[in-house]
Amino acid sequence: MNNSFTLDRNRGKIMGVCAGLANRSGVDVTLIRVGLVLLTLCALGPIGVVAYLLAGWLAEG
């Protein structure tokens, strides 16, 4: 079993990070996207954007 995180560029909107997380976790991609936006706007601020960009840069894809 491969435990690495991969991007899903076919279903992705920007980099495929949320779609990759949805594939990995089995959760609907829309819920992942809404959750990420809410966390970024309400709690994380610029850290959420940086985390998203790092995940897209570091992930296999």
Ordered alpha helix ranges (H), 1-61: 17-25, 29-39, 46-58
Domain residue ranges in the chain: 17-58
This prediction has a pTM of: 0.72
Q: Of residues 7 and 46, which shows the higher confidence score? A: 46
Please give the Cα distance from 40 to 27 (Å, whole number): 19
pLDDT bracket for residue 1 (50, 70, 90)? very low
pLDDT in tens, 11-59: 777 888 888 888 888 889 899 889 888 888 888 788 888 888 888 888 7
Residue 4 has pLDDT above 70, yes or no: no
